[in-house]
C-alpha cells in the first residue's frame, strides 16, 4: 500500500494514530488549520466537507524538484470523489457543480504569508449551473471574477494591481463606491476583462478544466512555503523552514448569496482586554476576503444576533464549545449560507499582554486549566508590557505615514518617552528639575558622570554603544526607555543640534523614542503608562512564585530603587554599585581630591568626608530591605572615570587661552590664568591615569589593594550603617562583594583587610549583624579556580557582562557597534552573547565555577548580577545550573519571576546543561 498523503477532515484519529498519539505531531502532519478542522468535525461542529494534503506531501514535492510524489495525484482524485458523494455535487458538472477552496496551513499560524485560492471549479459551463441553482447571476459572476483574480495573482503571479485597475474603472463607470453595488452585467464584464489580463500576462487562456485549476492551485500552495514573505516571516518568528505546509481542499460555502447569508471572523474573548465576551466582525452578503480586506465597513459581531438570531445563537454556543474543548481563547472564521452556519477555521487567538494575563487567570478560575498551565501561557515578554510606557498605536502609524520616523537603533530598554533634546547631562538635569521640562538626553555615548542627567531625563538616545553599554545598563536599571547605537544620528555640539539623514532638530525641540522597538521619531507622540497594579497580573505572579526555585533579586543603588524592587517582588539586592553614589554633585569634589592628591593625609581627609555620605546611602538601603540580603559591590571602575574626558579638558584649555587675548583687565587675566593652572593640573592627572585598556587595568580588587584606604572606608560605611539600623530593630544582612578577582591571593589579601575593618566596626558598635564576604566571577581564571576562591568567599556572583567580554576577548561596545551585528546576520553567532548567555563558553565556565565552588563549600550562595539576570533564556540556564538567585534591574524583576517559574516547570535538567543545544 502506498504512503497516505491525504486525510479527510473526519480522519484526524487516523492521523493521530499514525504519529503515535502526539497532538503536536498531528499539527505537524496536517498543519494547524487541517488538524483543527478535523478536530472540529470530531466534536460535532459543522464544517464543510474536505480533506488535507499533508506537510509530508509538500516536502516530498519540493524535494523532488516540484514533482508530485508517487500516489499523491491518485489520492487527491479519489478524495475529491468522496467529497462529491458527501455533498451530492460533482466537480466540473455543468448542472450541479462542486466548488472548492484551496488553502495553505502550516503547523504554526502564519497569517497571510502563504497562498489561498477560492471558487475553484468555476468555468463558462459551470457558471450556468450555479446561476440556475442559486437564481443569482450577480453572485455567480462575482465569484467567477474572484477566482480569475486569485488564480491569476497566486498561481500565475500576475501583478494584482492590473486587476484592481479594472475594478476601479468599473466602479467609476457605474458611479458607485463599493464592489457590492456592481450589477450582474458589470461583474460579467469585469470577469471577461480579468480573463484578458490573465492571457496577456501568462500567454495562455484561463484554464477551464476544474481539475487543472485544482492541480495548479495545490502546487502554488506548496511553492508558497518558500515564498519570500513566508521565509521572512519564519525568520522573524523563529519557525523552522523544514516543516512544510499542508493544503486544505474544502467545499465552498457562500456568504454572498443574499441577506440570509453572511461571513465573519471572531475571537471567543476580547483580544485587547481579555474580557469574557465574543468580539469580532461580520458582513451580510459577502465572502470572507471582504471582511479581512476592508472592502466594506464591517459590523460588530453582536449585531448578528439581531440580523440572523438563530445562526448567531448556534455560533455563540460553538464558540463556548471550542473554547472549552481547546481550553484556550479561539480565533474563528465562519460563513452563514442561507441561514446555515459553517465553521471554516479555529486557532488560538492572538492577544495583548493584558488580555493574555486576564484570560490565563480567568481560565484557572473557570476550572479549565491549572495554575501551572496559566503561568506557562503568559510569556516574560508580555509581562514587560505592564512595566513601561507605550506609545499610542494610532500615533505611531500616523508618524510613520508622515515620515516622522527618523531612524532605528538598538532597543536596549523598553518603553516609550518624549521630551525636548538636551545634549549634556547638566542641561538635562537643569531643564527637568528647575524648569519642569520633559527631556530626552542625547549623547554620542554616556559615562558614569552622566548619571544625574540620565536620572532626570525621560529617555536616553545615543549614537554609539551596544546592548550592555553604560547607557543601556543604567537605562534598564532605572526603567528609562533608551535607544542606543543609532548610527544615522549625528550630533553637532557647536550648533547644539542633531541631524538624521539631513533632517535637523535643534536642542530644545521635541523628539520621541520607542525603547521597545528601537525607533526614533520627530515630535511629541502621546504615551500610555500602564500601572503595575493589575490584580490578575499580581495573582499570576504569585502563582509563578510558588513554582520557581530560583530566587529573584534586584540591582539597586538607592533606596528608591530598592522600594520599587520590593514592589515588583524582589527578594533581595543582588548588586548595589557603590561607585554610582560618588557621582552626586556634593561628593565629586571629595572624590576628585582623593584621586588628585599624592599625599596620604589628604587622601584620608577626602575619604573621611565621603564616609558619612556612603553610610547614609547604606542606612537607607538596609531600612528598605528589612530582613532581606543586600549585596554591596565595592568600587569597580578605574579612577579616570571620575575625571573629565581628556578631549574636553584640551578644548576647555584652548578656549581659556583664547579668552586671555580678549581679557580687558589684569584681574580678568589673573582669573583666567588660575583656571588654566587648575585645568592643566587636572589634565596632567588624567594623562597619568590613562590606560590603553582600562577594562583590564587598575580597577576592582586591584584598585582596593593599590589604595586600601578607599575600600576600607567603604566597608566601614557598610558596617556602621548595618549596626545603626540593626539597633533600630531592623534585620540586616549585608554581603560585601569584591569585584574582578582573578587570583585567589587577591581575594585573600583584600578580604583579610576588609574583614578586620568590619570586625573593628562591630566591636565599636557593640553589635554583630549577620554578614558575608564574597566575590564576583568576571574573569575565566576565577571560574576555573573557583575551588580555591571558595576557601575564602562565602558567596560568588557572576558578572556576566565582563565574563562574556573576557571569555570572547571582545569589547562589548565596540563589538555591538561593528562586527557583532554582522556575525549575527551571517549566523556566525546564533545570538548576541551580551543579550543571552553563551551556553557553550560562558555557561560552561559558570557550570565549572558552581561545581568546583560547591565541592569546597556545599552551601555556597551562587548568583548572577549582570543584565543577563533579566533575560528569560539566560534565566533558564541559571535554573539548570542550580544558582541560588538571579539579580536584575527592578523593572525586570516581574519578568524574571515568571521566567524562573517557566524554567522550573520545564525542569529539563540535562546532564551537561551548559553545553545543551
Q: Which member of 388, 470, 733, 879 is catalytic?
A: 470
Whether 106 and 245 have beta carbons less than 8 Å apart is answered as yes
Q: How far apart are CA 165 and CA 169, in angstroms?
A: 6
Whether 257 and 330 have beta carbons less than 8 Å apart is answered as no
Whether 796 and 849 have beta carbons less than 8 Å apart is answered as yes
Q: How far apart are CA 287 and CA 290, in angstroms?
A: 6
Strand 90-91 and strand 489-492: pairing?
unpaired
Whether 753 and 805 have beta carbons less than 8 Å apart is answered as no
Q: How far apart are CA 277 and CA 301, in angstroms?
A: 11
Q: How far apart are CA 504 and CA 662, in angstroms?
A: 33
DSSP code at position 9: G
Q: Which member of 58, 102, 862, 865 is catalytic?
A: 865
| 629: alpha, beta or left? (left if phi > 0; alpha if psi -120 to 50) | beta
Helix (H) or strand (E) holding 249: strand 245-251
Q: How far apart are CA 266 and CA 162, in angstroms?
A: 32
Give the 3-state secondary structure of residue 225: coil
Q: How far apart are CA 446 and CA 575, in angstroms?
A: 21
Q: Give catalytic status of residue 102 as yes or no.
A: no
330 DSSP β-pair partners: 348
Among residues 156, 150, 187, the alpha carbon closest in space to that of 288 is found at: 150
Strand 330-337 and strand 340-348: pairing?
antiparallel
Whether 441 and 425 have beta carbons less than 8 Å apart is answered as yes
Among residues 537, 632, 515, the alpha carbon closest in space to that of 580 is found at: 632
- Counting Cα atoms < 13 Å in the Cβ hemisphere of 401 gives 6
Whether 632 and 555 have beta carbons less than 8 Å apart is answered as no
Exposed e or buried b per residue across 293-324, where buried means at least 16 C-beta atoms within 10 angstroms of its C-beta: eebbebbebeebeeebeebbebbbebbebbbe
Give the 3-state secondary structure of residue 492: strand
Find the distance separating the first CA and the last CA of the chain, reported in whole Å: 39
Whether 339 and 310 have beta carbons less than 8 Å apart is answered as yes
Which backbone phi and psi does 307 adopt, to 5 degrees? -85, -40
Listed in order, strand segments (DSSP E) in 481-598 are: 482-484, 489-492, 497-500, 503-506, 510-514, 519-522, 527-528, 551-555, 573-577
102 DSSP β-pair partners: 117, 249
101 DSSP β-pair partners: 250
Whether the CA torsion 292, 298, 300, 303 is positive or negative: it is negative
List of residues 6+ apart from 306 with CB closer than 8 A: none
Q: How far apart are CA 638 and CA 642, in angstroms?
A: 8
Q: How far apart are CA 170 and CA 165, in angstroms?
A: 9
Among residues 534, 336, 510, 354, the alpha carbon closest in space to that of 438 is found at: 510
Q: Give catalytic status of residue 706 as yes or no.
A: no
Q: How far apart are CA 33 and CA 54, in angstroms?
A: 11
Q: How far apart are CA 31 and CA 177, in angstroms?
A: 39
What is the edge-to-edge ordering of all strands in the sheet holding 497-500?
489-492, 497-500, 503-506
Catalytic site positions: 470, 865
Amino acid at each position: 500500500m502506498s504512503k497516505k498523503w491525504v486525510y479527510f477532515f473526519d480522519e484526524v484519529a487516523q492521523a493521530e494514530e499514525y504519529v503515535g498519539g502526539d497532538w503536536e505531531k498531528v499539527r505537524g502532519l496536517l498543519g494547524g488549520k487541517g488538524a483543527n478542522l478535523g478536530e472540529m468535525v470530531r466534536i460535532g461542529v459543522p464544517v464543510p466537507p474536505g480533506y488535507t494534503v499533508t506537510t509530508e506531501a509538500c516536502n516530498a514535492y519540493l524535494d523532488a524538484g516540484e514533482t508530485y510524489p508517487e500516489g499523491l495525484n491518485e489520492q487527491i482524485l479519489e478524495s475529491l470523489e468522496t467529497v462529491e458523494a458527501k455533498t451530492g455535487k460533482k466537480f466540473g458538472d455543468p448542472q450541479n457543480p462542486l466548488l472548492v477552496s484551496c488553502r495553505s496551513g502550516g503547523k504554526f499560524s502564519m497569517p497571510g504569508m502563504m497562498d489561498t485560492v477560492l471558487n475553484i471549479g468555476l468555468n463558462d459551463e459551470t457558471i450556468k449551473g450555479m446561476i440556475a441553482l442559486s437564481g443569482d447571476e450577480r453572485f455567480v459572476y462575482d465569484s467567477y471574477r474572484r477566482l480569475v483574480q486569485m488564480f491569476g495573482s497566486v498561481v500565475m503571479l500576475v501583478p494584482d494591481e492590473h486587476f484592481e485597475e479594472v475594478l476601479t474603472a468599473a466602479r467609476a463607470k457605474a458611479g458607485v463606491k463599493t464592489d457590492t453595488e456592481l450589477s450582474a452585467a458589470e461583474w460579467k464584464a469585469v470577469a471577461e476583462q480579468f480573463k484578458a489580463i490573465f492571457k496577456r500576462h501568462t500567454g495562455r487562456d484561463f484554464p477551464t478544466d476544474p481539475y487543472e485549476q485544482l492541480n495548479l492551485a495545490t502546487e502554488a500552495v506548496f511553492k508558497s512555503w518558500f515564498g519570500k514573505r513566508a521565509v521572512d516571516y519564519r525568520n522573524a518568528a523563529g519557525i523552522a523552514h523544514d516543516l512544510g505546509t499542508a493544503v486544505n481542499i474544502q467545499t465552498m460555502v457562500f456568504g454572498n448569496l443574499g441577506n440570509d447569508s453572511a461571513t465573519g471572523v471572531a475571537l471567543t474573548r476580547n483580544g485587547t482586554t481579555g474580557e469574557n465576551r465574543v468580539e469580532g466582525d461580520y458582513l451580510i452578503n459577502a465572502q470572507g476576503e471582504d471582511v479581512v480586506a476592508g472592502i466594506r465597513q464591517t459590523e460588530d459581531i453582536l449585531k448578528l444576533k439581531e440580523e440572523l438570531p438563530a445562526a448567531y445563537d448556534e455560533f455563540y454556543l460553538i464558540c463556548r464549545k471550542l473554547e472549552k474543548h481547546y481550553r484556550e481563547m479561539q480565533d474563528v472564521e465562519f460563513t452563514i449560507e442561507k441561514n446555515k452556519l459553517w465553521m471554516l477555521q479555529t486557532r488560538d487567538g492572538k492577544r495583548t499582554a493584558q488580555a493574555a494575563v486576564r484570560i490565563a487567570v480567568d481560565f484557572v478560575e473557570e476550572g479549565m486549566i491549572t495554575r501551572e498551565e496559566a503561568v506557562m501561557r503568559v510569556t516574560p515578554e508580555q509581562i514587560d508590557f505592564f512595566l513601561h510606557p507605550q506609545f499610542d498605536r494610532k500615533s505611531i502609524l500616523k508618524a510613520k505615514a508622515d515620515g516622522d520616523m527618523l531612524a532605528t537603533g538598538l532597543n536596549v530598554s523598553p518603553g516609550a518617552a518624549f521630551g525636548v533634546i538636551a545634549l549634556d547631562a547638566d542641561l538635562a538635569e537643569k531643564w527637568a528639575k528647575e524648569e519642569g521640562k520633559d527631556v530626552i538626553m542625547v549623547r554620542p555615548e554616556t559615562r558614569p558622570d552622566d548619571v544625574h542627567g540620565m536620572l532626570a531625563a525621560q529617555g536616553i538616545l545615543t549614537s554609539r554603544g551596544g546592548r550592555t553599554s553604560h547607557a543601556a545598563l543604567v537605562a534598564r536599571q532605572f526603567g528609562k526607555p533608551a535607544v542606543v547605537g543609532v548610527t544615522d544620528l549625528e550630533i553637532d555640539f557647536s550648533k547644539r543640534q542633531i541631524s538624521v539623514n539631513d533632517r535637523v532638530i535643534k536642542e530644545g525641540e521635541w523628539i520621541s523614542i520607542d525603547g521597545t522597538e528601537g525607533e526614533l521619531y520627530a515630535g511629541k507622540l502621546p504615551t500610555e503608562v500602564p500601572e503595575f497594579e493589575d490584580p490578575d497580573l499580581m495573582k499570576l505572579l504569585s502563582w509563578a512564585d510558588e513554582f520557581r526555585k530560583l530566587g529573584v533579586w534586584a540591582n539597586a543603588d538607592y533606596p528608591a530603587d530598592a522600594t520599587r524592587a520590593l514592589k515588583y517582588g524582589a527578594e533581595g539586592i543582588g548588586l548595589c554599585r557603590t561607585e554610582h553614589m560618588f557621582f552626586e554633585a556634593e561628593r565629586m569634589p571629595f572624590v576628585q581630591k582623593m584621586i588628585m592628591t599624592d599625599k596620604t593625609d589628604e587622601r584620608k581627609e577626602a575619604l573621611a568626608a565621603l564616609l558619612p555620605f556612603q553610610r547614609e546611602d547604606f542606612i537607607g538601603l538596609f531600612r528598605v530591605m528589612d530582613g532581606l540580603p543586600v549585596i554591596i559591590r565595592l568600587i569597580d571602575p578605574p579612577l579616570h572615570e571620575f575625571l573629565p574626558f581628556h578631549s574636553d579638558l584640551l578644548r576647555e584649555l584652548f578656549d581659556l587661552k583664547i579668552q586671555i587675548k580678549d581679557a580687558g583687565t589684569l584681574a580678568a587675566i589673573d582669573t583666567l590664568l588660575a583656571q588654566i593652572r587648575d585645568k592643566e593640573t587636572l589634565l596632567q592627572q588624567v594623562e597619568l591615569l590613562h590606560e590603553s585598556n582600562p577594562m583590564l587595568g587598575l580597577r576592582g580588587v586591584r584598585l582596593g589593594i593599590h589604595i586600601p584606604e578607599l575600600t576600607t572606608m567603604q566597608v566601614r560605611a557598610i558596617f556602621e550603617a548595618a549596626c545603626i539600623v540593626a539597633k533600630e530593630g531592623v534585620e540586616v544582612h549585608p554581603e560585601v562583594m569584591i569585584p574582578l578577582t582573578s587570583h585567589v591571593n587577591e581575594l585573600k589579601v583584600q578580604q583579610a583587610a576588609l574583614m578586620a575593618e568590619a570586625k573593628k566596626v562591630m566591636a565599636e558598635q557593640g553589635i554583630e549583624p549577620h554578614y558575608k564576604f564574597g566575590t564576583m566571577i568576571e574573569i575565566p581564571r576565577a571560574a576555573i579556580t573557583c575551588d580555591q576562591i571558595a576557601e575564602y568567599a562565602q558567596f560568588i556572583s557572576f558578572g556576566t557582562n565582563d565574563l562574556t567580554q573576557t571569555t570572547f576577548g571582545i569589547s562589548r561596545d565596540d563589538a555591538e557597534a561593528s562586527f557583532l551585528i554582522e556575525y549575527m546576520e551571517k549566523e556566525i553567532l546564533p545570538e548576541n552573547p551580551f543579550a543571552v548567555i553563551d551556553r557553550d563558553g560562558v555557561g560552561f565556565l559558570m557550570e565549572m565555577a558552581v561545581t568546583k565552588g560547591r565541592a569546597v563549600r556545599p552551601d555556597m550562595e551562587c548568583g548572577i548580577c549582570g543584565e543577563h539576570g533579566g533575560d528569560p533564556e539566560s534565566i533558564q540556564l541559571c535554573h539548570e545550573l542550580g544558582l541560588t538567585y538571579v539579580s536584575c534591574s527592578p523593572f525586570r524583576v516581574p519578568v524574571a519571576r515568571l521566567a524562573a517559574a517557566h524554567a522550573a516547570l520545564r525542569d529539563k535538567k540535562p546532564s551537561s546543561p551548559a553545553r545543551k543545544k
